[in-house]
Amino acid sequence: MNPAPTITFLSVSLEAWLTILAIITGPLAALLIQKYIETRRARTDRKAKIFQDLMTYRASRLSAPYVQALNGIETEFYGDTKVVEAWRSLVNHLYTPQGSDEVTSTRWNDHVSELLTDLLYQMAESLGYHFDKVTLQRNVYYPKGWNLTEVENTKLRQAAVKVFEGEKPLRVEVANDAPIPVNQNPIPHVG
């Protein structure tokens, strides 16, 4: 048998050219693959952080991390139809009037909880976590004292706004009826 003819270009064999090509493109390909993996991991980490923040603050829906996480869903989960649709349903409901009476307000809040549970469920599935909806809705701790503090803080802020805007006067009442001595300066004069 005759050996196969050697293919050459510029007096260099095809085998040598392929070796040179591999030496040049190998590290470049490895670098591109590594960059792709890092980008994908960073995106997964951002999604997981959003999910973690929503899970952590789901009982405290006025907290900044909860709102920021909710607002990050549309971009970070772009292309994940089930998550984005669940998010849209929740946000759409959040823009509907809550109602002024207690029954309507309770019904509105209950629906928010259902929509949030659906959103968390879809996000968990997308990230590879497997929670049932009851766990997502019920396994959260929020002390009654925090709720009371939040309600009181809201009332205090609303009352302060009314005073500062001139809607209500600031009442001052003297608690001690003892007479105040005249011409008695409690702060000694240094001079």
What does the pLDDT look like over 15-70, one tens digit per residue? 888 888 888 888 888 888 888 888 888 888 999 999 999 998 888 888 899 999 99
pLDDT at 49: 95
Task: Give the model's confidence band at 181: pLDDT under 50 very low, under 70 low, under 90 confident, else very high.
Answer: low
In degrees and rounded to multiples of 5, residue 13 shows phi and psi of: -70, 160
Residue-level length of the chain: 191
C-alpha separations of 2 from 8, 14, 15 in Å: 18, 19, 19
pLDDT at 81: 94
pTM above 0.95, yes or no: no
Kindly provide the b/e burial profile for residues 97-134, where b requires at least 16 CB atoms within 10 angstroms of the residue's own CB.
eeeeeeeeeeeeeeebeebbbbbbbbbbeebeeebeee
Residue 71 to residue 144: CA distance in whole angstroms: 27
